[in-house]
Amino acid sequence: MDMIYCDSAATTPLDKDVIKEMNYISTSIFGNPSSIHKFGQESRAIIERARLNISNLLGCNLSEIIFTGCGSESNNIAMLGLLNRGDHLITSSYEHPAVLKTANELELKGIEVSYIKPNSNGIIELQKVQNAIKENTKLVSVMYVNNELGTQNPIDQISDMTNELGILFHTDAVQVIGKKNISLRDTNIDLLSLSAHKFYGPKGVGALYIRDGVKLLPTYYGGGQEKDLRPGTENIAYIHGMSVALEIAIKDHDSWHEKLSEYESLFLDNLNKFNIRYTQNGENLIGGILNITFHDILSQDLVIALDMRGYAISGGSACSSGSVKSSATLREIDMDEQLAMKTVRISFGKNLTEKDILGLSNCIADIVSSQKQKSSSSA
């Protein structure tokens, strides 16, 4: 049975052209980029071409991009490298753990942290951020798009406000890069994190945008690569793969955005033909991520049943230590606990067809209807 993958917000498969490019680098170029001989300089040239390409695609300067191992590492470098005892950090309460756990660690080191709750629609409101600002506020970090809801935060407005006040602004943009074209020089974003595997590039590589003039201290030490901020011999094949993947994503953006919109409409329109109760959560959505509460089935039961029928989606709850807990994100938007346990995330990718979309919605309707009948019979 061929599986249909509908969990692209978690990760994406490698684009075939990215695989081809990476294979060439992996089998032909092996020099250490820090070496001064021809082999090393050949590798160095690939890295710097990738840096130039990515900076052009993101609308920033060549000097403003450093390569990292992933989006989580980019978040850590940005936050740990900037904040010191006595500083104040503002972030949201539904960030990715790479930000939230880093913020928790910073609190242990004497940094004051304020956590802003999203509203019931999953949006961080500008006024709430503004109200949290103090004299010692040094950094505001708010995710561009929430990874579970797909909601877009008012990043331009928040960064404009922080810029006026002389406060630095960081955003975890892992879920937006490749889905929305951004020109960083037209924004007041000071630091931005991204990860290749979210836009059909390889896992194990990311980047951090650091606006010229923003000074970060090293968080760990080694050979001095990437401005001393990410020491270690660079993975040239992965860096090149990320560059190629981003170029493809931005080139195909308009047509893919239109296709995503068509897929979402097709999925929901078909679902509406059936007598099942559901609620779509969030507003100002990025496209491609649907967070849906199906009122008559637990999310874990739906995810497992779909997996057995050949469809992969993500549950709105996580299992740990033998117990099932509702999603922290859903708790932060004050969703009822029972409803949170019935919420799933469906995220579409470019590997899908209209047949796949219709098949998924039909399958969900069948599973939910069967569960509803069982519940009625046992009542």
pLDDT in tens, 17-37: 999 999 999 999 999 999 999
Instruction: Decide if 316 is inside a domain.
Output: yes
- CA 212 to chain centroid: 24
Threshold 0.85, pTM exceeds: yes
Place of tokens 């004051």: 112
In terms of domains, do 220 and 308 share one? no
Choosing from 211, 231, 251, the residue where a domain stops is: 251
Instruction: Decide if 4 is inside a domain.
Output: no
Choosing from 251, 268, 297, the residue where a domain stops is: 251
Q: Rounded to whole angstroms, how far apart are CA atoms 142 and 32?
A: 36
Distances 141 to 144, 169, 272, 306, 372 between C-alpha atoms, Å: 9, 6, 38, 36, 43
Relative to beta strand 343-347, strand 314-315 is antiparallel
Instruction: Decide if 29 is inside a domain.
Output: yes
Cβ 316 vs Cβ 291: under 8 Å = yes
Residues catalogued as catalytic: 319
Sign of CA dihedral 214, 217, 219, 222: positive
Sign of CA dihedral 160, 162, 167, 170: negative
Give the model's pLDDT for residue 378: 66
Give the model's pLDDT for residue 286: 95
Strands (E), the chain: 4-5, 65-68, 88-92, 112-116, 137-141, 168-172, 191-195, 206-210, 278-280, 289-294, 311-312, 314-315, 317-320, 323-326, 343-347
In terms of domains, do 176 and 114 share one? yes
Paired tokens of 234: 């660079």
In terms of domains, do 201 and 274 share one? no
What does the pLDDT look like over 321-373, one tens digit per residue? Answer: 344 578 999 999 999 999 999 999 999 999 899 999 999 999 999 999 998 88
- Report the number of distinct structural domains present in the chain: 2
Among 161, 120, 121, 119, CA closest to 140: 161
> Is 66 strand, coil or helix?
strand
In terms of domains, do 268 and 240 share one? no
Cβ 288 vs Cβ 147: under 8 Å = no
In terms of domains, do 233 and 299 share one? no
Give the model's pLDDT for residue 2: 87
Instruction: Decide if 3 is inside a domain.
Output: no
Distances 170 to 131, 161, 193, 311 between C-alpha atoms, Å: 18, 13, 8, 36
Give the model's pLDDT for residue 324: 58
Among 55, 51, 61, CA closest to 211: 61
In terms of domains, do 147 and 130 share one? yes
Residue 226 burial (C-beta neighbours within 10 Å; 0-12, 13-18, 19+): buried
Give the model's pLDDT for residue 373: 80
In terms of domains, do 125 and 216 share one? yes
Find all residues with CB under 8 Å of 246, minimum gap 6, and list them. Answer: 53, 54, 57, 177, 178, 196, 199, 201
Question: What residue numbers bound the domain in which 360 lies?
Answer: 253-374
> Is 195 strand, coil or helix?
strand
Find all residues with CB under 8 Å of 323, minimum gap 6, and list them. Answer: none
Q: How many helices (H) and strands (E) does the chain have?
A: 12, 15
In terms of domains, do 258 and 240 share one? no
pLDDT values of the chain reduced to their tens digit, one per residue, 379 residues: 789 999 999 999 999 999 999 999 999 999 999 999 999 999 999 999 999 999 999 999 999 999 999 999 999 999 999 999 999 999 999 999 999 999 999 999 999 999 999 999 999 999 999 999 999 999 999 999 999 999 999 999 999 999 999 999 999 999 999 999 999 999 999 999 999 999 999 999 999 999 999 999 999 899 999 999 999 999 999 999 999 999 999 999 899 889 999 999 999 999 999 989 999 999 999 999 999 999 999 999 999 999 999 999 998 544 333 445 789 999 999 999 999 999 999 999 998 999 999 999 999 999 999 988 877 766 5
In terms of domains, do 231 and 305 share one? no
CATH label of the domain that carries residue 33: 3.40.640.10
CATH label of the domain that carries residue 326: 3.90.1150.10
In terms of domains, do 156 and 225 share one? yes
Choosing from 251, 270, 295, the residue where a domain stops is: 251
Q: CA angle, 174 as apex, 171 and 178 as ends, to 5°? A: 115
In terms of domains, do 262 and 247 share one? no
In terms of domains, do 145 and 169 share one? yes
